Amino acid sequence: MSGAWVTVLKRDLLLAFRRRSDVATTLFFFLMVSSLFPLGIGPEPAVLSSIAPGVLWVAALLAGMLSLTRLFAADFADGSLEQMLLAPQPLTLLVTAKVLAHWLVCGLPVVLLAPLIGLQYALPSDALSVLIISLLLGTPALSLIGAIGAALTLGVRGSGLLVALLVLPLYIPVLIFGAGAVAASQHGMSAQAHLSLLAACSLLALVLAPLATAAALRISVE
């Protein structure tokens, strides 16, 4: 069972490595969106550092969402998704491997790049470390919840926009706690409550989202 899990994970990572430009697109999107805000709002460091938590979190959330449609689409097109559905291993488990691969490819680079952009937004160093921790704790939930939307809209016309419509309302709690953690540390308060809630969101998503994703895949593929 764990053999199949590792195989799916390795395969998805290998496929992502072969199409490196896809990963770079996500990253550049994140970089560009967050560079647009200072141009629109103005270069005052005080303003920028006060909007930084929200802007960085929204940009990370949108970057992760844009890559969601790729999560199952290629497997659906070449038929390997059907093989996963027929496999003796539980689909829920295979889904977690695919989501983990997606997070490693699209989520983790954004987390690693975020402090750099945080510096541009004049975030103090302790807020920067909270930003990294909050993104580390929160982005897995984004990938897990997004997988449900990706599975539901598989092969549907206009699926890219539809995924946004389905998934964004469900992202709101993660956004609130994530940006809230950074803002709290900026104001000299403890970010621990926000971070705990963020971790709780991720754990809850880890338990429930793969089940819903597997059910959605079965609905979409049959």
Partner 1 sequence: MSINWFKYSSPQTFYPLAGKMIPWFAGLATILAIAGLYISFAVAPTDFQQGEAYRIIFVHVPAAWMSMVIYIVMAGWAGLGLALNARLSAMMAQALAPTGAIFTLLALVTGSLWGKPMWGAWWVWDARLTSELILLFLYLGFIALQSSIDDPRRADRAGALLALVGVVNVPIIYFSVKWWNTLHQGSSINMGAAPKMAATMLMGMLLMALAFWMYTVAVALMRVRCIMLERERSADWVKALSTTAGGKS
d(CA 78, CA 23): 21
- Shortest Å distance, C-beta 166 to partner 1: 5
Site membership for partner 1, residue 189 (CB under 8 A): no
Helix residue ranges, H only, the chain: 2-18, 20-41, 45-66, 70-78, 80-86, 91-102, 108-120, 125-152, 159-186, 192-221
Site membership for partner 1, residue 71 (CB under 8 A): no
Site membership for partner 1, residue 152 (CB under 8 A): yes
Listing DSSP states for 80-112 in one string gives HHHHHHHSSS-HHHHHHHHHHHHIIIIIHHHHH
In 3D, which of 161, 128, 108 has the Cα closest to residue 53? Answer: 128
Site membership for partner 1, residue 91 (CB under 8 A): no
Site membership for partner 1, residue 141 (CB under 8 A): no
Site membership for partner 1, residue 216 (CB under 8 A): yes
Nearer Cβ to partner 1, position 25 or 92?
Answer: 92
Site membership for partner 1, residue 197 (CB under 8 A): yes
- Shortest Å distance, C-beta 26 to partner 1: 23
* Residue whose entry in the numeric block shows the structure tokens 């705990």: 196
In 3D, which of 134, 130, 129, 132 has the Cα closest to residue 176? Answer: 134
The sign of the dihedral angle between the CA atoms of 184, 100, 60, 152 is negative
Applying CB under 8 A, the site for partner 1 has a residue count of 27
Site membership for partner 1, residue 219 (CB under 8 A): yes
- Shortest Å distance, C-beta 200 to partner 1: 9
d(CA 79, CA 81): 5
- Shortest Å distance, C-beta 186 to partner 1: 16
Sequence length of the chain is 222
State the binding string over 155-174 for partner 1 (x if CB under 8 A, else -).
-xxx---x--xx-xxx-xx-
In 3D, which of 125, 118, 152, 141 has the Cα closest to residue 198? Answer: 141
Site membership for partner 1, residue 191 (CB under 8 A): no
Site membership for partner 1, residue 85 (CB under 8 A): no
d(CA 17, CA 151): 23
**Binding residue for partner 1, selected from 177, 191, 195, 210, defined by CB under 8 A:** 177
Nearer Cβ to partner 1, position 38 or 180?
Answer: 180
Binding site for partner 1 (CB under 8 A): 148, 152-153, 156-158, 162, 165-166, 168-170, 172-173, 176-177, 180, 197, 201, 204, 208, 212, 215-216, 219-220, 222
